[in-house]
Amino acid sequence: MTRPRIQQRTRIYLGCEGESEQSYGKRLNEIADSFDLHLHFDNDLLRPGGGDPLALVQLAIRRIKEKEVKRGMFALRAILLDKDKLGLSPERDAQIESLTQPHRLLLIWQDTCHESFLLRHLEGQDNARPQTTGLAFQALKRAWPEYHKPMSAMQLAVKIDLCTILRARSVESAFAEFLDLIGLTQGRTFSA
């Protein structure tokens, strides 16, 4: 008797600055599963990173290499990064682009932070751009009173679904590219 062949999942690396981003990556994977996209997100908590964008990118590159040696290549490599620390060290920031290109690493900048990014998922908030992390957290709490840090993927599911993801996609270009590449929108998909 021949067993049916199980389709192998496409491996996606998603570097996460914090636990909130890690839960968000899990939520994205759940949504992709609901559309039978056969993806496996490796939601990698980048610790210690200290919020320094260059250090986070360097750590992600090291982790990607280690993981690919053990389990094979990733079809896509991306990192969710807070933008609030970008610009504090221009000489370090200048090194980021030269590192990301050879490693085919997509940077998804969260302007200014993850809470701002989440805020833009919510109805009527897609153009909200709080100027500081504190203001972003306050704005998100007003729009989503139950929000706290960190939330699990199950808790995020109360508000984060395909509709809200597409709302954020409309105002976040790197995030839109990421969603297109994984096939969660009308864009390109990976071939099996």
Q: Which residues are within 8 A (CB) of 114 and not within 5 positions of it... i.e. 6 or more apart?
A: 17, 18, 20, 21, 24, 80, 82
pLDDT per position as a tens digit, 21-71: 999 999 999 999 999 999 999 999 998 767 799 999 999 999 999 999 999
Q: Where are the beta strands (DSSP E) in 31-144?
A: 39-45, 76-82, 105-110
- What pTM was estimated for this model as a whole? 0.92
- pLDDT > 50? residue 187: no
Nearest to residue 41, comparing CAs of 66, 15, 62, 20?
15
HSE of 166, CA atoms in CB hemisphere, 13 A: 10
pLDDT (average), residues 169-179:
96
Residue 110: count of CB within 10 angstroms of its CB: 24
Distance between CA atoms of 133 and 19, rounded to whole angstroms?
Answer: 16
pLDDT (average), residues 110-119:
96
Nearest to residue 180, comparing CAs of 169, 171, 191?
169
Question: Domains of the chain by range and CATH?
Answer: 10-182 (3.40.50)
The token pair that represents 81 in the structure block: 């990064």
DSSP secondary-structure letter at 65? Answer: H
- pLDDT > 80? residue 192: no
pLDDT tier at 7, thresholds 50, 70, 90: confident
Q: What proportion of the chain, given as a percentage, has pLDDT over 90?
A: 88
